[in-house]
């Protein structure tokens, strides 16, 4: 069968050997990890966030994933550990001044340098292209190279000055060992938060029940009022004669009525008295008053 017509088969066509293991191109893998969103597979664009395992995402893709929980997506496994927007941190990245992007690619024939990265370390200047290990701080979101943190040892952030600890350092796109260590820290952190939340609930319930216990269930007898206080309560307060109409027999005047007096006779200052029309400065003489026929100034 076959081999007719003078065809000569080769050995690899007849003998089936072991399949070769397909090797992943390292450069392509680095480009996919550092330039594309791990959830939507789109190019990373600001705002960029990172999860507790060190993966990079577009923030809008994470929000869409959290809102659209009903649909089963194949890429949802990459973000299955993200339960809320609080589980990701928005990154504060430093732009690379040598990166041009698509600015000079007007005709579409420009060579893309995959080794050139969009972002760099603000301390050392290393490019964030996967050739060097980078990490970010959970407390503030600043991104640095691991070399910068090792060479310049400090307990505060090199950019914003925020204090951080070892638990706040998360390696970006780390190895399998790094991801396993970060996953253990993430589970411990979430367990502590859950226990603290449960411990707060009984305390809040006790604080709410304390006023009720103090009011109704206390065994102490209420203090009996003294006879002096009872006499004070029984004796009515004296009423003003102005309200009753009183002994004077004049019931026509209201209680707040007062005798009229001129402001000129008061002891106020001259500046205060000059506001009113009864002051001498407000009165005009006959020469200053207007003519009875016309109000023009020519007839004074």
Q: pLDDT grade, residue 59 (50/70/90)?
A: very high
Residue 36 main-chain phi, psi, to 5 deg: -125, 150
Residue 50 makes CB contacts below 8 A (sequence gap 6+) with 56, 57, 88, 89, 91, 136, 170, 172
Q: State residue 89's pLDDT score.
A: 94
Q: State residue 103's pLDDT score.
A: 65
With a cut of 50, say whether residue 242 has pLDDT above it.
no
Q: State residue 44's pLDDT score.
A: 92
Pick the most confident of 158-162, 223-227, 267-271. Answer: 158-162
Is the Cβ–Cβ distance between 89 and 182 less than 8 Å? no
Rounded to an integer, what distance in angstroms lies between the CA atom of residue 185 and that of residue 182?
5
Instruction: Find the farthest-apart pair of alpha carbons in the chain and give their distance in angstroms, rounded.
Output: 147
| Residue of 269 and 219 predicted with greater confidence | 269
**Rounded to a whole number, what is the distance in angstroms from the first to the last CA of the chain?**
140
With a cut of 50, say whether residue 217 has pLDDT above it.
no
**How much of the chain exceeds pLDDT 90, in percent?**
30
DSSP per-residue letters across 78-122: GGTT--SGGGSEE-B-EE-TT--TTSS-SSS-PPP-TT--SEE-T
pLDDT, one tens digit per residue, over 92-116 is 999 998 887 766 666 666 666 666 7
Is the Cβ–Cβ distance between 143 and 127 less than 8 Å? no
| Residue of 149 and 278 predicted with greater confidence | 149
Rounded to an integer, what distance in angstroms lies between the CA atom of residue 9 and that of residue 17?
16
Mean pLDDT of 142-146: 93
Stretch among 22-31, 248-257, 286-295 having the lowest mean pLDDT: 248-257
Q: pLDDT grade, residue 198 (50/70/90)?
A: confident
Stretch among 22-31, 137-146, 160-169, 206-215 having the lowest mean pLDDT: 206-215
Q: State residue 113's pLDDT score.
A: 65
Is the Cβ–Cβ distance between 96 and 127 less than 8 Å? yes
């Amino acid at each position: 069968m076959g081999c007719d017509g003078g065809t000569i088969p080769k050995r690899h066509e007849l003998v089936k050997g072991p399949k070769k293991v397909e090797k992943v191109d390292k450069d392509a893998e680095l480009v996919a990890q550092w330039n594309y969103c791990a959830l939507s597979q789109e190019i990373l664009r600001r705002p960029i966030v990172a999860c507790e395992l060190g993966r990079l995402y577009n923030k809008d893709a994470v929000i869409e994933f959290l809102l659209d929980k009903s649909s089963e997506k194949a890429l949802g496994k990459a973000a299955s550990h993200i339960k809320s927007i609080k589980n990701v941190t928005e990154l504060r990245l430093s732009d690379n001044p040598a990166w041009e992007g698509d600015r000079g690619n007007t005709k579409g024939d420009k060579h893309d340098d995959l080794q050139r990265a969009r972002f760099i370390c603000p301390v050392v200047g290393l490019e964030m292209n996967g050739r060097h290990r980078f990490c970010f701080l959970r407390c503030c979101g600043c991104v640095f190279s691991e070399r910068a943190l090792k060479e310049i040892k400090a307990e505060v952030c090199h950019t914003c000055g925020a204090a951080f600890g070892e638990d706040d350092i998360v390696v970006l796109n780390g190895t399998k060992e790094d991801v396993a260590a970060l996953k253990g820290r993430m589970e411990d952190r979430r367990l502590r938060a859950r226990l603290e939340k449960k411990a707060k609930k009984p305390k809040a319930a006790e604080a709410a029940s304390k006023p009720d216990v103090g009011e109704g269930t206390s065994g102490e007898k209420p203090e009996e009022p003294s006879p002096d206080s009872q006499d004070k309560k029984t004796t009515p307060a004296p009423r003003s004669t102005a309200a009753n109409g009183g002994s004077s027999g004049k019931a026509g005047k209201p209680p707040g009525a007062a005798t009229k007096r001129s402001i000129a006779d008061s002891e106020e200052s001259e500046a205060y008295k000059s506001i009113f029309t009864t002051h001498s400065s407000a009165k005009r003489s006959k020469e200053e008053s207007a003519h009875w026929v016309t109000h023009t100034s020519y007839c004074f």
